[in-house]
Amino acid sequence: MPTLDSPRSPDKLAYHGEGPGTVARLNFREKLEHLFRVARGRKRGLVLTHDNPDPDSIASAVALSHLLQVRTGVETDVAYGGIIGRAENIAFVEVLKLPVIPVSQIVFNDYDLVALVDTQPSVGNHSLPPSMPATIVIDHHPLRDESLRVPYADVGGDFGATSTMLVEYLRAARIEPDPELATALFYGIKADTRDLGRQTTGTDVDSYLWLFPRVDKHLLEQIEHPELPGRYFRLYHKAYERARVYGTAIVTDLGEVYSPDMVAEVAERLSFLSGMKWSLAYGSYRSQLYFSLRTKDRRMNAGRLIREVCLGRSGSAGGHGSMAGARIPLWGTRAQRAALKRELVKDFLERFGVKRERGVPLLEYDD
């Protein structure tokens, strides 16, 4: 799930040396000094991605773990909550042999340093227990105020991917990544910025070019064009069959999905239908209802809209201008669940400004 949205601008916040704050305004050399000061002397570190992690989150976590081990000597593991479900993401971890473990296999009390990457403590899309404070947060999404209480927070700034930030850390620390790590970071930037076409900054391009000669192109090819399981095609079949077009919005109900990140993939895919301003997909996984939203209307903010719809329903939500996601706990009888879905979709359609009764099945839609 994409993460957060906050109107707070990081450059309004200064870092005054010691103690919590955000280091976002410092250069990466200075950031390293603070980071090492916080990390040194710890016994064991854990770097945690957001749940159902995407390549940007995984690559950043592996890179941070490497940086901490090499430069501070703190032994560090990388863990993720949820599942790695999309075929590209499974291939990403397998082909690059990335050392990541499910959070169910770790004991949090074994660690005296915990880092969150590509998410923040208050976002609600990660598996860090509330009783366990984060020591380090590195994230390219807009700053949430709670992150200012973390001993080391590098949040916000002008980056299309958290992987870009980690490339800057490695360069400042003069660490030469091996081809696997370089390929991971490269793919992390590529995926988050959709080939440098979406929410991309000069620093992303610079990191991408720095990584390019270090990437193993053969490994990259295996990640980007993986074999797909039969259930992938069945899911798409259902997605197209159930999709309805409401004026400039397309909405589909995926029912039960085999992986929550497929909801985002389908929302993205359907957003390419010509004439659409909005694309919404939803599906359930382990008694949670996942929503993913895309908009092509630059005046709209998908992150804000999805939060308005979902936060009052004890869910968590995040995202930015053009893409956002949310999850809401599902409970009650079959009928109650169906009613909740209908109510949510009605709420979304109203906010899209389209007429609910004008829905046309995608398979009958002729533009």
Task: By CB under 5 A, name the one of 192, 204, 253, 261 that touches Mn ion.
Answer: 192
Kindly indicate which of the ranges 79-87, 112-120, 122-130, 253-261 contains the residues binding Mn ion, using the contact rule CB under 5 A.
112-120
Q: Phi and psi of 366, rounded to 5°?
A: -130, 110
CB of 198 to Mn ion, least distance (A): 12
Distance CA 165, CA 148 (A): 18
**Nearer to Mn ion (CB atom), residue 5 or residue 56:** 56
Q: Which residue is nearest to Mn ion (CB)?
A: 56
Number of helices and strands in the chain (H, E): 11, 13
- For 110-260, list the strands marked E by DSSP: 113-117, 136-139, 152-155, 244-246, 249-256
| Start-to-end CA span in the chain (Å) | 31
Min dist CB 100 to Mn ion, Å, is 16
**Segment lying near Mn ion (by CB under 5 A), choices 45-53, 61-69, 162-170, 347-355:** 162-170
10 Å CB burial of residue 242 (0-12, 13-18, 19+) is middle
Least distance CB 162 / Mn ion (angstroms): 5
CA–CA separation, 227 vs 249, rounded Å? 31
Q: How many residues does the chain have?
A: 367
Residue 282 CB, shortest distance to Mn ion, in Å, is: 21
The minimum distance between CB 55 and Mn ion, in angstroms, equals 9
Segment interacting with Mn ion, rule: CB under 5 A, options 9-17, 160-168, 303-311, 335-343: 160-168
Q: Are 246 and 358 in contact (CB under 8 A)?
A: yes
Shortest Å, Cβ 9 to Mn ion: 19
Stretch that binds Mn ion, among 17-25, 38-46, 187-195, 345-353 (CB under 5 A): 187-195
Query: Closest CB to Mn ion among 159 and 348?
Result: 159
Q: Judged by CB, which is closer to Mn ion: 193, or 284? A: 193
Q: Does 204 bind Mn ion (CB under 5 A)?
A: no
Structure tokens of 315?
């869910």
Report the nearest approach of Mn ion to the CB of residue 251 (Å). Answer: 25
Q: Please state, in angstroms and rounded to a whole number, the distance separating the CA atoms of residues 343 and 319.
A: 22
Q: Cβ closer to Mn ion: 72 or 163?
A: 163
Q: Which stretch binds Mn ion (CB under 5 A): 5-13, 107-115, 145-153, 161-169?
A: 161-169
Among positions 5, 51, 56, 261, the unique one binding Mn ion when judged by CB under 5 A: 56
Candidates 118, 154, 253, 265; binder of Mn ion (CB under 5 A) is 118
Q: Which residues have a Cβ under 8 Å from the Cβ of 201 and sit 6 or more positions away?
A: 158, 159, 160, 164
Residue 234 C-beta: closest distance to Mn ion, Å? 29
Stretch that binds Mn ion, among 4-12, 118-126, 194-202, 221-229 (CB under 5 A): 118-126
Residue closer to Mn ion, measured from CB, 21 or 325: 325
Q: What are the angstrom distances between the C-alpha of 352 and each of 249, 265, 311, 359?
A: 7, 20, 17, 13
Pairing of β 249-256 and β 75-80: unpaired
- Judged by beta carbon, residue 60 or residue 271, the one nearer Mn ion is 60
| Rg, Å, the chain Cα set | 20
Would you say 278 and 248 are in contact if contact means Cβ atoms under 8 Å apart? yes
How many residues bind to Mn ion according to rule CB under 5 A? 4
- Which run of H or of E encompasses 278? strand 278-285
Nearest approach, Cβ of residue 311 and Mn ion (Å): 21
For binding to Mn ion (CB under 5 A), which residues are involved? 56, 118, 162, 192
